[in-house]
Structure 1
């Protein structure tokens, strides 16, 4: 057990100093009536904000945070998908990092814990955030409770209705969960007056959470996209590097799905920094085509434009995604660091549709017995494609992917997909 705990890193990895060119900094819009960058100082915990702008390559993990990581089950398992290899008749070796093994069922807890810890250290007593599919809200609800803090979660309405189990778990942890858009904020009132049946979006829920935090003097926690989140999530990739080393394996292909980019960046960026791997694949949803149709511009992370502009691949802050099966991939943009790496050609991208990911999920769960989250099933589809290519070319490459969450709370979505597939 002690040996396993040694695999948990004592620092986070920050890719910013290792990017091919300087990352364009966040900025205020030219016609701004107030400074969004100054607003960050009001709504974000001080240490979280400091880490957001750090250029340190390695950032020390506080020992109490590292202990919390261990207590929630880190290191998470790195498993070889032998039955999937056999089913695909591939000479490739396939490994997956199983972030679904955490108590909240996904990678999101990796940044919720340090953000809640730094909030507690600062004397904060109430945290606010948004959530799409529910994984991030669940992680914040648990992390808040771990440090004796209250929490309020604005959940995208379509997910609030599709995933009542996620809502129940957050409430069991003690969080207050609201269906966004709500009547609790001016922005929410504006949207619901225009469309009482508005399905919501992650950008809208983000704006509501920020406004709610500002109005009540609470602190806001960010779940994806920003550099500090990708920094905290690097615990995934750093652990995986250690685990592969113990197996005497060198990875060739590294794959992860992308909503905002935190699980992909947290998994893949440490490998890029260590110059391990030859192919990095970011996988998105065909129904939310940010990679194929988005532009690389400065845009707001939230729909109301309360946060600073960041340069990223984006479909536009006003984009309202369809109420698809995969709530965690319904975000309009991608993390600035990931966006740059895609534009520079270092990271490749793919987009898959509902039928493709449903078939991939079914193949994986019948082979390995694990029900993957619909989001992670996008990565699985890319793995299957790479494994089949290896079979054609007779390449004994090593494919490693991040199974960023389990799908046990997504069964209603799978049931609806089954009906549509029949």
Structure 2
């Protein structure tokens, strides 16, 4: 039914996909010059070691022993389960497995990179970390990591989630963090968006801008990011490296699935398996699932764009809806982002990863079914992967084909019950852009 690894099998290295990509990754551009950004500029925003890792072409990077010990303390290695009740209910020849990152003390995969980032910040004498958060899972993870490392943390939380998920901000505050709804009155960027719309629901793009503006006012502060950039995705590969060991106790997967906002939890599970495909050693089907309300992979444009709404970040080449795209306030707050990780964009472009999109009602329907059958209430973000796994298992039944499905259940939904309440009472609203005026949304100089 499950495989739980001993502490000694926590991975000792993170996997860096950069040297194995099918094409070179386009460099981030300085918005002032449109030339590749000087790493020294990035060091004013990020810890120096993270900038070094972001640019590194080493295939594997050693996990500091102190971080490995903390991984053990917060619940790594996480268990891998077989969803036998779901299989029986679907009456499918498919066999379904899931890696359960909700077993960590903060309830999601985000703690994997939060601990690493806080560790490097502490070593460099950084006194304060500032970040954004959507659903609150990333903010919670960094709040705990800061508490464990003795670093102050400030979180700008997208206003829609701040109001929908009140206990997320309570948890962050228990860990000692400051939490502000974004857009906020703390920053000039926040004030600007509030002047345009006093009831602005916020977005990850706006919250990122506020966090960076905050950091640039304080020499002892640095920005900490929960997804999109390569060093973040690399830290998450502990998930897939553990899963590879655990699946050896079961069988080889055929299909690997994860949800995508910025791309960290999908990459965390999938990238160690993607390496085998890129090396020509194996064949897997990779499915990346996003909401129809923020369809960056399925309907976005592959181009250079800002990572934030206030145009403070370097420009990244990625699938994007435009940094000015107004993301509707769906309950999967962690997926409410206008772009996607540049490395994942390369894999989508090369046909290695297949993107699909769902409405939130069908996602919650799959989540509720999974909870009844397997006992775990999944986060709305993770439920996107569950929906795709169910659809794939039904497809296998129609085709009479035995397949092995592995997906990442990246977090539990025990602090997302307001969304489930709206689903149960039939009050969920589905959002899908009828038209995407990409050129207007991008608002980029030629």
1:168 correspondence with 2:170: yes
- 1:35: how far off? 6.2
My pick for the range that moved more, 181-190 or 255-264, is 181-190
* TM-score using structure 1 length: 0.97
Determine the structure 2 residue equivalent to 1:242: 245
Residue of structure 2 in register with 1:272 after alignment: 274
| Residue number among 137, 142, 145 corresponding to 1:143 in the alignment | 145
Alpha-carbon displacement from aligned partner over 1:57-86 (angstroms, at most 9, x marks no partner): 100000111111111110000000000000
Q: 2:108 aligns with which of 94, 106, 109?
A: 106
Note if contact 1:79-1:96 (Cα within 8 Å) is conserved in structure 2: yes
Q: How many residues are aligned here? A: 421
Partner of 2:337: 331
Distance change in 2, residues 1:242/1:185 (3 Å): same
RMSD after superposition: 1.7
Q: Indicate if the aligned counterparts of 2:156 and 2:179 stay in contact, CA closer than 8 A.
A: yes
DSSP 3-state at the match of 1:174: coil
What's 1:62 paired with? Answer: 64
1:367 aligns with 2:367: no
Q: Provide Cα deviations, 1:324-373, integer angstroms capped at 9, x if missing partner.
A: 12111100000001011111111001101022101111111111010011
Distance 1:360 1:277, change over 3 A: farther
Report what 1:220 is aligned to.
223
Aligned partner (choices 229, 241, 256) of residue 254 of structure 1: 256
Q: CA contact under 8 A between 1:27 and 1:37: conserved in structure 2?
A: no
Measured after TM superposition, the shift of residue 40 of structure 1 is 1.5
Q: Determine helix, strand or coil for the equivalent of 2:366.
A: helix
* 2:235 is the counterpart of 1:232: yes
Give 1:3 shift: 5.8
Give yes or no for contact 2:5–2:246 (8 Å, CA) kept in 1.
Answer: no
Q: Secondary structure at the match of 1:42?
A: coil
CA distance, structure 2, for counterparts of residue 310 and residue 32 of structure 1: 11
Which among 155, 158, 165 is matched to residue 157 of structure 2?
155
Query: How far apart, in 1, do the equivalents of 2:232 and 2:297 lie?
Result: 21
Do the aligned partners of residues 241 and 33 (structure 1) sit closer, same or farther apart at CA in structure 2, a change above 3 Å counting? closer
Distance 2:331 2:134 in 1: 12
Q: Give the distance between the partners of 1:191 and 1:33, measured in 2 at CA.
A: 29
The CA distance in 2 between the partners of 1:161 and 1:369, in whole Å, is: 27
Secondary structure of the corresponding residue to residue 246 of structure 1: coil
**Higher alpha-carbon deviation: 289-298 or 61-70:** 289-298
| 2:290 partner SS | strand
Q: Secondary structure at the match of 2:376?
A: coil
Structure 1 residues 83-119: Cα deviation after superposition (integer angstroms, max 9, x where no partner): 0000000111110000000111111000000000000
Give the SS at the match of 1:165.
helix
The residue aligned with 2:414 is 408
Partner residue, 1:29: 31
CA distance in 2, matches of 1:252, 1:35: 39
Partner of 1:376: 382
Q: Which moved more, 1:22-31 or 1:368-377?
A: 22-31
User: Secondary structure of the residue that 1:302 maps to in structure 2?
Assistant: coil
Match of 1:20 in 2: 22
Structure 1 residues 273, 189: CA separation in 2 closer, same or farther (over 3 Å shift)?
same
**Normalized per residue, which structure has more helix?**
1
What residue is the counterpart of 1:95 in the other structure? 97
Secondary structure (helix, strand or coil) at the match of 1:274 reads: helix
Q: Which residue of 1 aligns with 2:362?
A: 356
Cα deviation for residue 148 of structure 1 reads 0.8
Q: Residue 10 of structure 2 contacts residue 238 of structure 2 at CA under 8 Å; is this kept in 1?
A: yes
Alpha carbons of 1:270 and 1:93: their partners in 2 closer, same or farther (altered >3 Å)?
same
Number of the residue aligned with 1:309: 315
Number of the residue aligned with 2:444: none
- List per-residue Cα deviations over 1:199-250 (Å, max 9, x = no partner): 1110000000011011022111011000000000000000000111133x11
Please state how far the C-alpha of 1:420 moved relative to its aligned partner. 2.4
How many angstroms apart in 2 are the aligned matches of 1:50 and 1:167?
Answer: 32
